[in-house]
Structure 1
Amino acid sequence: MKIAFVGKGGSGKTTLSSLFIRHLAARPAPVIAVDADINQHLGAALGLDEAEAAALPAMGAQLPLIKEYLRGANPRITSVESMIKTTPPGEGSRLLRVREDNPVYDACARPVRLDPGEIRLMATGPFTESDLGVACYHSKVGAVELCLNHLVDGRDEYVVVDMTAGSDSFASGMFTRFDMTFLVAEPTRKGVSVYRQYKEYARDFGVALRVVGNKVQGQDDIDFLREQVGEDLLVTVGHSDWVRAMEKGRARPFDALEPENERALELLARTAADAHDGRDWERYTRQMVEFHLKNAESWGNAKTGVDLAAQVDPGFVLGDHCSGVGAALPA
């Protein structure tokens, strides 16, 4: 299943997503973690040192390889250059699966050993000084969106994405790619403002959204969040000595995490599983196509010089039945 963590900058979404990833890995379950935030901190939250985190390959830098692999033998895609971030799969396209090895994972993913378990970690790559004034960060996360559009995942397989902060997540159709979106909110007016934006934007797209209250210090904070977000409030999380030790570089075994926080993580997992069970692959594919046509009309056709609407395979529905077999990559 595909799970996103969103929230205001500083809300603790990266910390909570890293705890959730550790919880899944300890089951153990296959997990692909993706750092899609403009500030790349997920690697550090998962225990990588500064050098290890900096050495993670940038998905954005591997976009030509990603496109070439996913294009496969799809006759509707005339060239790699004509693929954009929203290009949907069709007959002949290659698909990605969580439990496989492929050239995309070889180029973009790195194994991270946790206590216990192991995951694959991918990162969009940081927004660098050389990007200022000449690049949009959403061009980097386009590699993530393209991969999600071509990913077939099962109930006991996990893709967890730490999204960019605030409402920037709506700059593409990627916010519709998830079975469950957890919005991390502090018990403050600013903390719930992003929730209101997200709720409004997501309403028309059937996005499953639940709120995780973070940095909660007492019943008054819980009452405030409940007043502001109502039944969307799933669970609250307070201070964690385990997290504080981790942030100081004094890692403890994960089974030393406070029981109440462990129960909160398990509730997140059960909630996501329930949402996945209700996935509608036809709607999922239809939304993908709708965003592609919007992007094609607004900028994609002009940029590529191609009518990108022709890339849509009207008879194709993504799902477990798809083989995802295409031609081999050139040597």
Structure 2
Amino acid sequence: MTKVKYYYDPDTLSYRKIEPKKSRKFRNVLLFTVASVLSGLLGMLVLLNTNLLNTPRELALNREVKNYELQFELLNKKMRQMEEVLANIEERDNNIYRVYFEANPIPEEQRRAGFGGVNRYRSLEGFNNSEMIIGTTRRMEIIQKQMVIQSRSLDEIAKLATEKEKLLAAIPAIQPVNNEEMTRMASGYGWRSDPFTKARKMHWGMDFTAPRGTPVYASGDGEVSRADNRASGYGKHVRIEHGYGYMTLYAHLSRYNVKVGQQVKRGDLIGFVGSTGRSEAPHLHYEVWKDGSRINPINFYYGSLTAEEFENMLRYANQENQSLD
């Protein structure tokens, strides 16, 4: 109830009621209304930022959002672990596998390249957690790209490994006549005295003396390209194409144990020592060709000789004696 105020009037010698002015009354009403509105807005803001006015559905949605945020954190943690594993694989890929197989390493820029051009994440913008969602999505796509690049690299390494295995099997790597059955290494690669003309001429292979009928073995995997006596001076001879530019020739045989087009493995029996063609005595004349040129066979016995045996062979091969063909 509004208090009533009075004042003393000396003219009438009585108390008179104070009547408030209309402007002041209006101002008071206005101040009260403004204060009420501000108080209401402040109270509403406080209530909106608490769970007091949220419906059960809104509370459930809030919990779901919190759960999604937690899942995103766990996903980012797993992606960090994946990045560490990928980095380790990439390091071994570049510094071990690709080095061993003589392949160029994959540039870091290619592995880490992002996605340029149009905005790929426009549909993810405008949400409360857009920055987190876009960052996680971009990170996941980069990891996917890295995995694709690494998968292709490993496919290439597997192919190179297969080719390397074939190459190692194809390279002439053993002595074509066993030491137990060989009399001696008669003549090596280089300038030698011709047994018929006595002139000094280039000897393009190595001569292994052995009894007639001694087995002759393929020095590497390949395909028999010739097994005939139509080449001048070689008599009955076998030629094996090993691939990768390698070819071996086995001359002055007494007979063959293979035919043209036959696939042979290193160590397979291909013929027998003889003295056919331009030959002074039973022996095997052995040549190694690379890319169409004859090279010294002494460099291709790592698969069958001990260090001591190889040293002895090297000493005899370097002697400028008389060849047998």
TM over 0.5: no
What TM-score range do you get, normalising by the shorter chain? Answer: under 0.3
| Larger helix share, 1 or 2 | 1
What TM-score do the two structures reach when normalised by structure 1? 0.18
Structure (1 or 2) with the greater strand fraction:
2
TM-score (norm 2): 0.19
